[in-house]
Amino acid sequence: MMDTRETRHLGYHATERPVAAMEIDYPAGSSTGLHSHPRGQLLHAIEGVMIVRSAAGSWVVPPNRAVWLVPDLEHEVRMCGAVKIRTLFVDPAAAPHLPRASCVLAVSPLLRELIIAAITVPLDYAPGTRDERLLQLVLDELREVAVLPLHLPLPRDARLRTICAALTAHPADTTTAAQWAGRLGIAAKTLHRLFARDTGLTFGQWRQQARLIFALERLARGARIIDVAFDAGYASQSAFTAMFRRHFGQPPSVFYETPGTGMA
């Protein structure tokens, strides 16, 4: 018999209403397994950190963020700590303003409360009611949120995937693009062109993003910042913190705090 956690979302796909909200909790270390949804999905955790993986890449999603997943994207969600998920399934036709590609979004205190309130709305809510207006307000609020750089895109090219697998496994690796190109028997210029084509990033940008994603996963699991900094290839904790601030506008020590609470 299948776990009801893995099947209960089916009813949320079948509703004729354009938006449906669902709550579901997972224990630490668990995984949803690979699956997909015919609707777009806004995946938000009010507690815990989610690691979302797909063939298109990986996203790290702390409680002050949400991930927007496009319809039919096969993905897996892994839980760092006990995770309380609050999610919306959205008919893309009802929200053409939502991103066309999967991405991580900022979650304001207002949006967080709207998502939590949406959980109480029944699947068969009546048109023209408060319930419908509440869900519409959620979609309207999503127009205002920022897309955040918490995605690690994976290239299509098999040669680049070899490099990416190595850098993901060992983010402190300092092998240069020219050295990688030599190992693969291609010109460094070709390697840079392929990275730009497949990921939209330079080799250096991709490696830095891989280090960021690695660091975010480790921090979510409670690792010390100094250990994360060295394991990610930074010469000091201060160098890592400076890089982190440039990307996220805040130090790693407060990144996982829930908006409005001051608590992780």
**Which uninterrupted H or E stretch holds 124?**
none
What are the tens digits of pLDDT across the range 120-138? 999 999 999 999 999 999 9
Which residues is 173 bridged to in the sheet? none
Architecture of domain 4-148: Sandwich (2.60)
What are the tens digits of pLDDT across the range 157-187? 999 999 999 999 999 999 999 999 999 999 9
Terminal-to-terminal C-alpha distance of the chain: 36
Identify the residue with better confidence: 13 or 20: 20
Angstrom distance (rounded) from CA 202 to CA 92: 32
Which residues is 47 bridged to in the sheet? 84
CA angle 188, 170, 153 (to 5 degrees): 65
What are the tens digits of pLDDT across the range 52-98? 999 888 888 888 889 999 999 999 999 988 899 999 999 988 888 88
User: For the CA atoms of the chain, what is the radius of gyration?
Assistant: 20
pLDDT recorded at residue 216: 86
- The residue extents of the domains of the chain are 4-148, 154-254
Angstrom distance (rounded) from CA 124 to CA 131: 10
Q: How far is CA 166 from CA 40, 42, 103, 156, 227, in A?
A: 32, 31, 24, 16, 20
For the domain made up of 154-254, give the CATH fold: Arc Repressor Mutant, subunit A (1.10.10)
